Structure 1
Amino acid sequence: MKADGTTVEEILANVPQERLEAFNKLHNVIVKNLPKGFEAAISYGGLGYVVPHTIYPAGYHCKPVEPLPFAGIASQKNSINFYHMGIYSKPELYDWFVSEYPKYSSRKLDMGKSCVRFKKTDEIPFDLIAQLMQKMTVEEWIAIYESNLKK
């Protein structure tokens, strides 16, 4: 589902009313805990947290005009979705997240490769997301990204 808006501010303002508070809180937690170099931006028509072209001029290999994506959030039909490329590309980080999740939520983890779906907005583990966002630097993400490109 494409986000409703063309700026970060418009996307945050246009989230459905029943999800507005949780979605904005999730965005604020992510931004507050983003390591230096990442920034909030429009990424593939949605709200993303990216490595800007000023740091990584090559951009995303699939679409170089886009900055290198790292994380994102979206309000989908049945859930708020949180995307994190680090848990997809770094097995130790994935293992850490999966093992920590039950300490922060009584709900079963609903997760794809890089996507965590939150169907109940009152059970988003904001503290766990904050910790996760701090676990990978821009430099580490670029190194992982580039090493996977060469495979």
Structure 2
Amino acid sequence: MQIFASSTEDYISKIPEERQEAFRKLVKAVNDHLPEGFQENISYGMIGWAIPLDLYPAGYHCTPGSPLPFMALASQKNFIAFYHMGMYAKPDLLDWFVGEYPKYSKRKLDMGKSCVRFKNMDDIPLALIGELCTKMTVQEWISIYESQYKK
């Protein structure tokens, strides 16, 4: 479900009330740990973090003239979705996350290729999300993107 919002706080105000606190905590965990250079934004109907055009003028090949996406957070019908393109693109980072997850949550990991789904708002492993955010720099994401995705 796409939410039309002008800012992170506007986005959060438009999601179900029972998810708002969890969203604020997730946004804080990401912002407190993400390496310098990534920029919070609203894109594709989600809260996102991307590499701005002033750092990577080539931008995103799928949407020319837009920042290079890296992570996103969305309110879906039955869960919160946390997207991390680095885990999709770098298998050893995915392996690390999957291995660490049970240390931070008693729930089974519900994950797609780059999407971690959280159905229980009280059991989101914020410390693990924060640590994950430290694992890839802007330059590393650009290098991976250019070597694997940019056509």
Give TM-score, length-normalised by structure 1.
Answer: 0.96
> Is the counterpart of residue 119 in structure 1 residue 136 in structure 2?
no
Q: Is the 8 A contact 1:48 1:70 kept in 2?
A: yes
Q: Is the 8 A contact 1:83 1:116 kept in 2?
A: yes
Q: Distance in 2 between matches of 1:56 and 1:150?
A: 13
Q: Distance in 2 between matches of 1:123 and 1:72?
A: 19
What amino acid sits opposite 1:96 in the alignment?
W
Change (3 A) 1:69 1:77: same
Displacement after TM superposition at 1:16 (Å): 1.1
> Is the counterpart of residue 140 in structure 1 residue 140 in structure 2?
yes
Q: Is the 8 A contact 2:61 2:150 kept in 1?
A: no
Count residues in correspondence.
Answer: 151
What amino acid sits opposite 1:111 in the alignment?
M
* Aligned-residue identity in percent: 59
Counterpart residue number, 1:39: 39
After superposition, give the CA deviation of every residue in 1:37-58 in whole Å (9 maximum; x if it has no partner): 0010012221101001110111
What amino acid sits opposite 1:71 in the alignment?
M
After superposition, give the CA deviation of every residue in 1:36-79 in whole Å (9 maximum; x if it has no partner): 00010012221101001110111110001221000010011000
- Structure 1 unaligned blocks of 5 or more: none
Give TM-score, length-normalised by structure 2.
Answer: 0.96
Structure 1 runs (4+) greater than 6 angstroms displaced: none
Secondary structure of 1:41's match? strand
Cα-Cα RMSD: 1.2
What amino acid sits opposite 1:74 in the alignment?
A
After superposition, give the CA deviation of every residue in 1:105-132 in whole Å (9 maximum; x if it has no partner): 0110000000000000111000000000
Q: Distance in 2 between matches of 1:115 and 1:145?
A: 18
- Structure 2 unaligned blocks of 5 or more: none
Q: Is the 8 A contact 1:5 1:11 kept in 2?
A: yes
Counterpart residue number, 2:61: 61
Q: Distance in 1 between matches of 2:68 and 2:58?
A: 8
- Tell me whether 130-139 or 38-47 shows the greater mean CA deviation: 38-47
